[in-house]
Amino acid sequence: MNKQEILFATGNPNKVKEINHLLQGSVYSVKSLKEMGIEEDIPEPFDTLKENAQAKVDYLIKLKGTPCISEDTGLEVKALNGAPGVLSARYAGESKNAADNIRLLLKNLEGINERTARFRTVICYWDGIQYHFFEGIVNGSIAEKPKGVSGFGYDPVFIPENQYRTFAEMTANEKINLSHRSRAFNSFLNFLKKQDD
């Protein structure tokens, strides 16, 4: 089967791997910034996931002018008024160090019993003519300490609703069945399928 490549505005190989896993069996695959020879970070200057997702797509449109997608994901913690939110990747600084981000998050939640949180992903897809947006949300809570070695980002401290393990304690398939990113990308994939019908 010849795959139709869609440019994906991310430099995160974990995200690329996760999304291509979701796209198995379809005619689509995603290609990362690095695979396109783009090494620099695309700016994410806005206060909302939707605006940042569109900004990354606009960057690729100027460079390539072909159909492309981007996503922006944030961990939103109720007791922290929605933080880290759009700053999730840079919560502890511009180095984007996941372990540092987790340490800061747990420090900011010390002594707080309310640990409700959610992961939210917003996808922006430009089909060559117009923008389309898709959202995926998974509710859950923040663990008292990191557990598990799988996944990436905040996965070691995020426990999805109605589960007892963190994302990092789950297999890739278990996480994909529950995750915010897969929910957003499944909506995107359903949209693509309708276009092919």
Tokens for 87?
Answer: 């700053």
Q: Is 72 a catalytic residue?
A: yes
196 burial via Cβ count (<10 Å: 0-12, 13-18, 19+):
exposed
CA distance 56 to 15: 15
| Helix/strand/coil for 101 | helix
Angle, helix 180-196 to helix 13-22, in steps of 10 degrees: 50
Q: Which residues pair with 139 in a beta bridge?
A: 118
Instruction: Given the residues 41, 72, 155, 196, select the one marked as catalytic.
Output: 72
CA distance 182 to 180: 6
Give the DSSP letter string of 47-59. Answer: SSHHHHHHHHHHH
**Nearest CA among 74, 32, 54, 102 for reference residue 181:** 74
Question: Which residue's structure tokens are 């160090």?
Answer: 97
Residues catalogued as catalytic = 72
